[in-house]
Structure 1
Amino acid sequence: GKKTMVWASHADEVSVLPPDFIRLARSNISEIEAIGHKTKPIFGVQWHPEVSHTEKGIELLENFLEICRERERK
């Protein structure tokens, strides 16, 4: 898949997916960096798209919000 650099400034991590969630992203540090619910418009990430250290952070955040809006319409 596609790769990008993101800023994560903590050691917290999700180690087990909650029921009805899928993994959307991983890293060399954590197997679960982003998740999404299978049927509900619920998403989560473990990095900081809003900081300047994240490549294409604003674009990532805008795309994330668009995905949320699209899922909500379904």
Structure 2
Amino acid sequence: MITFSSIDEAFKWFLENIYKNLPADQKKGRLTYAWRDYTHGGSITEKRMRQILEEYGDIEIKTVVSYRPK
């Protein structure tokens, strides 16, 4: 299991380590659009990144909020 501090960081790792090794026939359509949007500064939402990550592996997202009263 690999741990990341954000969805953005996980998606960047996915693109560099999983996406680039996929067969050409899998790098079509929405996956290619997501890669292009992410790498060329386009608009890609966390929801879209999460959906792609879930499609290619198990993902567990935890939100931690710490509050310390003054």
TM-score normalized by structure 2?
Answer: 0.30
Higher strand share: 1
Larger Rg: 2
Structure 1 or 2: larger helix share? 2
Higher RCO (CA < 8 A, seq sep 6+): 2
